[in-house]
Amino acid sequence: MARLIGLLFSLTVAGLSGWIAWAWSVLYVEYIRGAEDFSPVFYLGDGASKIVLTILCSALGFTLASLVYRQALDLFRDFMLDLRRIPPRDKIAVILGVFVGLGLTALLGTLLFRIPNLGPPLVALVGIACVYLGVVITLSMKEEVSFFLGPKESEDATAPGPLLRPKLLDTNVIIDGRIADITRAGFIEGPVYIPDFVLEELHLIADSSDSLKRNRGRRGLDILRQMQERPGSHVRVYDRYRASIRSGDPVDAKLVQLAKGVDGAIVTNDFNLNKVAQLQGVPVLNVNELANAVKPVVLPGEEMTVTIVREGKEPDQGVAYLDDGTMVVVEHGRDRIGATVTVVVTSVLQTVAGKMIFGHPGDVPERPQEHSNRRSRHNSSGGSRRKTSHP
């Protein structure tokens, strides 16, 4: 609809420009040039000059009208976006202040109109001053005039909190794939934007000669399609920038600049992008942090059922994994590889590689001294932790 209105506006201006050019050329040919008997060196003739001048002015009018309409449309969209962010009580207070100012102007105008020659300009100046003062006064007295403004809304209802900000996806989190399940579960609210430079990078990855990168890129494109086709989805490509995005900057730098321009938050699982965005004051939603936050909490003495998949680093140890990838070190589990056993949790250790759970089979009592010695070896050996990290 906006494009149709812009086209009609440009065509209208082009038509007016052409009509004015034709009228001026007729006036020039029939009166001015005829009266002065003046003929330029490069003169195309009366009829041709009228047509060429009309076409040139019409094209110039169409171009200028298109540029003016685009700028005006962007300014109008920014104004409407800012207007939506104003709390309803403030909007009502502004309207009330305008009416108060106009009322004062009407009272004072009867006196000012009697001043010879200066009456109308003074009424205009006093009207502007009264409206401004009325708005300022009503905004500063919102609590006192609350019977006009209605009940006060909670801060959560009026403030554009982080959940209402636009969410910008980076390439890594799209390829990761978990973002589709997160949005489907409703943990991300508000519009979700895929900047066109992120989509372009994803397209380049999908066209890579490396088969692994190519498969990852195509998987990311499929995930975006699934997210857009989901009923009620607010996922769309974003390519209208109010902030200055330099084409030569890296994708991460463009993403941070765009997030500042739209007052949005970046959704990523990239550690470096997370730190850079936070240093520049941009909110970040890290998928890895969310995954760690929703992992089940286990306490010593609880039981869990796991399948031992391989042997551990220490003698007589077996290793199992939970559904979320958390490693479970099972004492006396080496001879039960491939079996599903009930494990009693003895301790939980947080390492640089993630969370590790220690336990022993429910039918084998754990000797505290033996477990303490083995856990201390895990704590003191950096190499052991790296080798038992998530695959």
How do the domains of the chain map onto residue ranges?
2-85, 88-155, 165-293, 303-387
Per DSSP, helices labelled H in 28-45 are 33-36
Q: Would you place residue 41 in the very low, low, confident or very high pLDDT band (cuts 50, 70, 90)?
A: very low
Which residues 6+ apart lie within 8 Å of 326 measured at CB?
295, 354, 355, 356, 357
Question: Using CA atoms, how far apart are residues 202 and 162, in angstroms rounded to an integer?
Answer: 27
Fold of 303-387: OB fold (Dihydrolipoamide Acetyltransferase, E2P) (2.40.50)
Regarding beta strands 354-361 and 340-351, do their DSSP bridges make them parallel or antiparallel, or are they unpaired?
A: antiparallel
Question: First vs last Cα of the chain: how many Å apart?
Answer: 52
The closest alpha carbon to 13, from 48, 71, 67, 58, belongs to: 58
Would you say residue 10 has pLDDT above 60?
A: yes
Mean pLDDT of 18-45: 59
Mean pLDDT of 361-375: 60
Tens-place pLDDT, residues 237-277? 877 665 566 667 788 888 888 888 888 899 998 888 888 88
Strand arrangement, sheet containing 265-268: 235-238, 192-195, 167-169, 265-268, 284-286
- DSSP secondary structure code for residue 32 in this structure: I
Tens-place pLDDT, residues 135-155? 888 877 766 655 555 544 444
Q: Would you place residue 226 in the very low, low, confident or very high pLDDT band (cuts 50, 70, 90)?
A: confident
Position 288: which residue type? N
Write the CATH number of the domain with boundaries 165-293.
3.40.50.1010
Would you say residue 183 has pLDDT above 80?
A: yes
pLDDT at 43: 47
Question: Using CA atoms, how far apart are residues 341 and 326, in angstroms rounded to an integer?
Answer: 16
Q: Would you place residue 66 in the very low, low, confident or very high pLDDT band (cuts 50, 70, 90)?
A: confident
Q: Would you place residue 309 in the very low, low, confident or very high pLDDT band (cuts 50, 70, 90)?
A: very high
Phi, psi at 328, each rounded to 5°: -120, 115
